[in-house]
Each structure stands twice: as C-alpha cells, then as structure tokens.
Structure 1
Amino acid sequence: MPGKIDLAIAAITITNERQQAFLFSLPYLASEAHFVTTKNNSLKSLKKLTHKKTGIIRGSLYKQLITQKFKTNSIKEYPSTDKLITTLNQYEVDVLLMDDFSADYWIAK
C-alpha cells in the first residue's frame, strides 16, 4: 500500500503474511482472547462451543483459532464490536470471541 498509509497504531496481529507487506515495530501491547456470552446462556464449557454460533470481528485471526482449536464452522463475522454486542443481545449468536480490552469494556457497561 505504498503512499496510502504511513503509520498504523491498532490491534494488528503480526503474521508471516502481514510481515511480507508491512514493517512492524516491537509490540507495545499484548491482549488475550476472551469468550463473552449472556448471563442466561447455558454454555458452561468450551467443549460445547462446537454447537454454538460464535460471533467475531471480520478479518480477525479468531476465525482461524475457532476453526482449528474448537472444530466449529458456525462462525458469524461482523464489522464492529458494537455490532457484535448487538447480535449477542438479540440472541443472533450464542457467544462472542473478542480481545480482553473490548470484553472488559462491554461487560462493565
């Protein structure tokens, strides 16, 4: 993307593919993935995640994590955290996978 972007400061996961296109500094922040669901959801074990609809941010590496580690293909991708939270509150998905900073913020609201 020559000439389009000079600097990106965001939660961008460093991958081999992205290192081919971009120059990364040392990471300045580390976050973890958190599952978030409603209080009345029956999901009590990650073993049951296979049969649940999982919402993630479009373009995140969480899709790869879910399909490989939890062997599920019931994944719905959304353009923003706001949309993720809305779909969970409207029971369109059973569980969300998001970074811990976003999860903590939305849970506190």
Structure 2
Amino acid sequence: MSDCFDNEHNQLIVCRNCLINGFKLRTRPNSGAINLGIGSINITPERSERFLFSLPYKSSYHQFLIPSNSNIKKIDDLKGKTIGIHLGSPTIDYLKVYFNNNIQFKYYETFMDLLNGLTDPQVSAIVTNSDQAQYWASSTPDCKLLGDGFPFGIGFGVVARLDQAELIEKINQALIEIENDGTYLKIYNLFFQP
C-alpha cells in the first residue's frame, strides 16, 4: 500500500484498499483484504477489542425514521414493533436494552435497502446515524424523523486491522494536526454541520 499522506502538503488522502460498507466490518478488517475502513463507523468498547481505531473524528448520534404517514408519536411507541437496522450494527444491543427486549429487528445490508424497507413498508421504523436520517427526512417525502438523535459509542473513527498500529498512529497524527491548524474546523463546517 502506498503511504496515506501527501508528503508535499502533509495531508491525509484517500487510500486504496479502504472499506466503506460497514456491514463487512464484522469480518473484513482482520482478514487482510483491507487496510483501513473509513465511513460512519462507530467506535465501541466491543469493537475496540477486535480492531484498532483512530481518535474519533466526529461525534456519533443515531436517530429513528418512520413513514411520514405513521401514527407513531414517540420513540417508546416502537415497543413491540419491528425496526429496520444495518446488519452488524452495534446499535442492536443498545436498543434491546432500551426496549427491554420488546422489539424485533429486520436486517439490511445497504443504506438504500434500509430506506426501502421503511418506505415499502416492511418495518415500523429504521435507525441509522443522525446525519443520514436527517438527510433522508429532508429529501424523501415518504419518511420523517422520530424523536431526537441519541448519542452512541465513542464517536466515528477510522478502523484498521490489529496489526496496523503504525498506520493508525499516522491517522491520529494527521487528525491532531488538522485540528490544531484549523483545517478540521473548516472541513467540519463545510461537510458535517447541519
């Protein structure tokens, strides 16, 4: 793999062999097939036992979406219902506790399958990261937000195999550098701010 940094500008650039589909996070990073996973990947204590993570680069919030014609008024109304969720999502355990195991899940591999599961409708609600939920609610007339976003995990981070400590250290150094020089704030304001 080539270095993940542009030596002239000392900025992080996109690497080849990166993982985007979080579903494959369960198996792919430690298989040797990829070097890094970059996306809306939650850092959790359980995942940190199996993978290396960078410092968090963004807070992680999740949010429910429901069909726009739904009679559901509050999150607690989802008890006993079926929720659509990404296959392998760490949010499942949190929701089982929140709903006291009085909830069913239907699993989807892709974001579009998840959204289609809501609009078909195959489920009463879906849960995904708040940025995605807010985007869908604003651009899809068939769905709306339910309740506020709730914090989940330690934040979003770059994930790597357990043998990639040096690469994660480079990522962390770059994250610290762009935070210190103001670049991160510019990126955040441009791409992450609602």
TM-score by length of 1: 0.87
Give the letter aligned to residue 73 of structure 1: I
CA distance change for structure 1 residues 3 and 58 in 2, over 3 Å: closer, same or farther? closer
User: Is 1:19 equivalent to 2:73 in the alignment?
Assistant: no
The partner residue of 2:85 within 47, 53, 56 is: 56
Structure 2, unpaired ranges of 5+:
1-29, 140-194
Q: What is the deviation of 1:100?
A: 0.7
Number of residue pairs matched by the alignment: 109
Query: Partner of 1:78 in structure 2?
Result: 108
Write the distance in 2 (CA, Å) between the matches of 1:51 and 1:3: 40
Deviation at 1:51, TM superposition (A): 2.2
Change (3 A) 1:2 1:78: closer
Residue 45 of structure 1 and its aligned partner are, at CA, apart by: 2.0
Q: 1:69 aligns with which of 98, 117, 129?
A: 98
C-alpha displacement of 1:78:
0.6
Q: So what's the TM-score if we normalise by structure 2?
A: 0.52
Q: Does the 8 A contact of 1:55 with 1:97 survive in 2? A: yes
Percent identical across equivalent pairs? Answer: 32
Counterpart of 1:33 (choices 62, 83, 90) is 62
Q: Which amino acid aligns with 2:114?
A: L
Aligned structure 1 segments of 4 or more residues deviating by more than 4 angstroms: none
The 3-state SS of whatever aligns with 1:43 is: coil
